[in-house]
Amino acid sequence: MTILVLANFGMGLFKFRKELLEALINERHEVYLSLPHDDYVSALEKIGCKCVKTPVDRRGTNPLKDVRLLLKYIHLIRRIQPDVVLTYTIKPNVYGGIACRITHKKYITNITGLGTSVENKGFIQKLSLALYKIGLKKASCIFFQNEPNKQLFMDRKMIKSKTRLIPGSGVNVSQYGFEPYPEDKEKINFLFIGRMMKAKGIDELLEAAKLVKMQYAHVHFDLVGGSEEDYFQQLVEHEILGIITYHGQQKDVKPFIKRAHAIILPSHHEGMANVLLESASSGRPVLASNVTGCIETFDDAISGISFEAKRVDCLVEAMVTFIKKPYEQKKAMGIAGRRKMEKVFDRRIVMNAYLEEIDNCKEN
């Protein structure tokens, strides 16, 4: 079979879908990737994928750019003639789905998360949902990463296709193997991994870190990830004051996870938070907001601590609760998280679901 994958950036494909791509290539399928060129394209080509440069304005709302993307997808599908198309993230899902309908090609869609355009109510939300309805209408299968997102689409009568629930992108439990808990009992290292942006709860995190640091001098905050321009000055100021250490974008986050006592994610919304899966797989407790896409990744008070999103006081309370726990209890939370990953979130579960649906497309 010839399989075309539509995506909006290479890092996501390489970090979260590499095992699926390798499995498809090992089964002698021809795999094409349509995506903007970035640092991960060469790595994807090394495993046997054929990459086609396709600019995607991930957050833009320019209709002319979106029309160009749709036309590009139509042209690409007609040229490659794939047996099945796999789409990920909002714009490839919407415009890739429409392109597949126009070209009469089978396609499988993955709702990786609703995104800000859907989460924030208003005209953009209505437009996004309307476009989703058009793009998803003829999908062979729609994968959802959490039940509430699936229910939202069903309640609004947006989908008629077959749906399946998968545990996010899953986590490679071998790649993110269990790490012994840090032996330093006198210090607490909290770690945030993610883009420095409002939707990730960075405002609440910076304020909470300042308050906690005033009360507990032995607590340290490491922040890893790229930053939107709005936050760079705040990060510098907090670092000068000794509240945080900002490490910027990192290709490998495992060394940071290894020395962390717990991972914090005060996100406002998620599809399924990969950073929580990777951290729990490594044996680290997680502190996360009680929103869809976070709350499913841990058992509250067993492998993690939940708190209300967008509330600094609730985040501070969760941190203090963790700080006060005995060392052995913190360690046990990490072990419990690892067990949950092995049982529920192993990436092979996701990979096998995809292989089944691709086989179904071949048979029908």
Check residue 118 and give its pLDDT.
62
Whether 354 and 302 map to the same domain: the answer is no
pLDDT of residue 315 exceeding 90: yes
The tens digit of pLDDT for each residue in 32-89 reads 999 999 889 999 999 999 999 999 987 767 789 999 999 999 999 999 999 999 999 9
In a domain, 47, yes or no: yes
Compute and round to an integer the Cα radius of gyration of the chain: 21
Q: In Å, what is the CA distance from 214 to each residue of 32, 223, 312?
A: 53, 18, 15
Continuous segment of H or E residues that includes residue 214: helix 202-215
Nearest one of 99, 222, 109 to 166, comparing CA atoms = 109
More confident residue, 117 or 179: 179
Split into its structural domains, the chain has a count of: 2
Contact residues for 22 (Cβ-Cβ < 8 A; gap 6+): 47, 48
Whether 107 and 165 map to the same domain: the answer is yes
In a domain, 230, yes or no: yes
Whether 143 and 154 map to the same domain: the answer is yes
Rounded to whole angstroms, how far apart are CA atoms 312 and 309? 8
The tens digit of pLDDT for each residue in 258-305 reads 999 999 999 999 989 999 999 999 999 999 999 999 999 999 999 999
**Burial class, 345, CB count within 10 angstroms (exposed 0-12 / middle 13-18 / buried 19+):** buried
Whether 227 and 162 map to the same domain: the answer is no
Whether 322 and 350 map to the same domain: the answer is no
In a domain, 183, yes or no: no
Band of the pLDDT at 102, cuts 50, 70, 90? Answer: very high
CATH number of the domain that residue 18 is part of:
3.40.50.2000
Q: What percent of the chain stands above pLDDT 70?
A: 97
In a domain, 226, yes or no: yes
Q: Which residues constitute the domain of residue 358?
A: 2-170+346-363
Which structure tokens are listed for 226? 């790229």
Whether 54 and 133 map to the same domain: the answer is yes
Band of the pLDDT at 220, cuts 50, 70, 90? Answer: very high
DSSP annotation of 137 reads: T
Q: In Å, what is the CA distance from 71 to each residue of 34, 74, 77, 317, 337?
A: 13, 5, 10, 51, 45
Continuous segment of H or E residues that includes residue 153: helix 147-155
Mean pLDDT, to the nearest integer, of 97-103? 98
Whether 229 and 289 map to the same domain: the answer is yes
Least confident of 97-101, 151-155, 272-276: 151-155
Q: Categorise residue 242: left if φ over 0, alpha if ψ from -120 to 50, beta otherwise.
A: left
Check residue 229 and give its pLDDT.
85
Mean pLDDT, to the nearest integer, of 244-263? 97
Q: What is the SS3 assignment for 119?
A: helix
